């Protein structure tokens, strides 16, 4: 079955960088669009970014544009999110999500931005 | 961009039927597929409806989705409510620039 395992979360100071990873299994990774979605504590879901199956196109939410970079390595079934210039309001659980019809979600990794 | 508006909370008794609405602020609700996600406390979201009215395998047929162009809204209906259905539910769609839009979420209480 589909498995998405995120890692890389932790506590980081404002202005610093952090890189999240997601290892996929149970499906042909290179055939699917992949997303990052986040959820601040006690809040709703917020879409962050999407990358096409072949990496040819990337789209970002306005709130992260210019600060976050989504990438993928289809040879390693891995999705990444490079986050820089982190702000306190970037604090959230970050979910790796397989796109297409019927999204599949990972369990998430918590990023806390605090001084 | 458009917004998707959901009621903040709904409640109903076990065995009853509940409907959660998701109203699109501009543009036609039929323009882009609507998805629904269930999120139980402390867990990641899971898909219960995709492409307006399709159920992933493993989701019981008590869950159904529909769209209504007259009200420009989508609906998630859960029949035969069970206590395990108590969760937050989010609708989601796409805008014309491939951006993803989520509703604010609805807390379902089964009392």
CA B50 to each of CA A14, A98, A102: distance values in angstroms, whole numbers, following the listed order: 37, 13, 5
Q: What mean pLDDT do residues B28-35 have?
A: 95
In this prediction, what percent of chain B has a pLDDT beyond 70? 98
For residue B34, count other CB atoms closer than 10 A to its CB.
27
Alpha-carbon gap, residue B107 to A74, rounded angstroms: 37
Structure tokens that stand for B4 in this block: 């998707």
CA A50 to each of CA A57, A115, B43, B44, B75: distance values in angstroms, whole numbers, following the listed order: 8, 29, 22, 19, 26
Alpha-carbon gap, residue A34 to B56, rounded angstroms: 18
- Note the pLDDT tens digit of each residue in B56-89: 999 999 999 999 999 999 999 999 999 999 999 9
In this prediction, what percent of chain B has a pLDDT beyond 90? 94
Q: Is the pLDDT of residue B98 over 70?
A: no
Give the gap in angstroms from C-alpha A91 to the nearest C-alpha of chain B: 16
Give the gap in angstroms from C-alpha A101 to the nearest C-alpha of chain B: 6
Q: What is the DSSP string of A54-104?
A: TSS-EEE-TTTTTTEEEEEETTTTEEEEEE-S--GGG-EEEEEEE-SSS-E
Q: What mean pLDDT do residues A80-84 have?
A: 98
Q: What mean pLDDT do residues A70-94 have?
A: 98
| Residue B1 confidence (pLDDT) | 82
CA A49 to each of CA A14, A56, A67, A91, B65: distance values in angstroms, whole numbers, following the listed order: 21, 14, 11, 16, 26
Q: What mean pLDDT do residues A3-11 have?
A: 98
- Note the pLDDT tens digit of each residue in B32-50: 999 999 999 999 999 999 9
CB contact under 8 A, B50 and A103: yes
Q: Is A31 buried (19+), middle (13-18) or exposed (0-12) by CB count in 10 A? A: exposed
| Residue A22 confidence (pLDDT) | 98
pLDDT category at A28 given cuts 50, 70, 90 is very high
Which residues does chain A have within 8 Å of residue B44's beta carbon, measured at their own beta carbons?
95, 105-108
Mean model confidence pLDDT for chain B: 96
Give the gap in angstroms from C-alpha B13 to the nearest C-alpha of chain A: 25
Q: What mean pLDDT do residues A11-19 have?
A: 98
Q: Is the pLDDT of residue B97 over 70?
A: no
pLDDT category at B99 given cuts 50, 70, 90 is confident
CB contact under 8 A, B47 and A102: yes
Alpha-carbon gap, residue B54 to B28, rounded angstroms: 19
């Amino acid at each position: 079955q589909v498995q998405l395992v995120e890692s890389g979360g932790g506590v980081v100071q404002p202005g610093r960088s952090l890189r999240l990873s997601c290892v996929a299994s149970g499906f042909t990774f290179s055939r699917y669009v992949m997303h990052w979605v986040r959820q601040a504590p006690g809040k709703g879901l917020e879409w962050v970014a999407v990358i096409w199956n072949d990496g040819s196109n990337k789209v970002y939410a306005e709130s992260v544009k210019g600060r976050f970079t989504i990438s993928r390595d289809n040879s390693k079934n891995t999705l990444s999110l490079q986050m820089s210039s982190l702000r306190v309001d970037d604090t959230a659980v970050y979910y790796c999500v397989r796109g297409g019809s019927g999204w599949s979600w990972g369990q998430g990794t918590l990023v806390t931005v605090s001084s | 961009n458009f917004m998707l508006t959901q009621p903040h909370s709904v409640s109903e008794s076990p065995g009853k039927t509940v409907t959660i609405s998701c109203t699109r602020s501009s543009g036609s609700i039929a323009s882009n597929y609507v998805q629904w996600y269930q999120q139980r406390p402390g867990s990641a979201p899971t898909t219960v409806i995709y492409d307006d009215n399709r159920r992933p395998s493993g989701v019981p047929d008590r869950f159904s989705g529909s769209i209504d162009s007259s009200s420009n809204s989508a609906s998630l209906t859960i029949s035969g409510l069970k206590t395990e259905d108590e969760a937050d539910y989010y609708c989601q769609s796409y805008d014309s620039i491939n951006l993803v839009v989520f509703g604010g979420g609805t807390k379902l209480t089964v009392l």
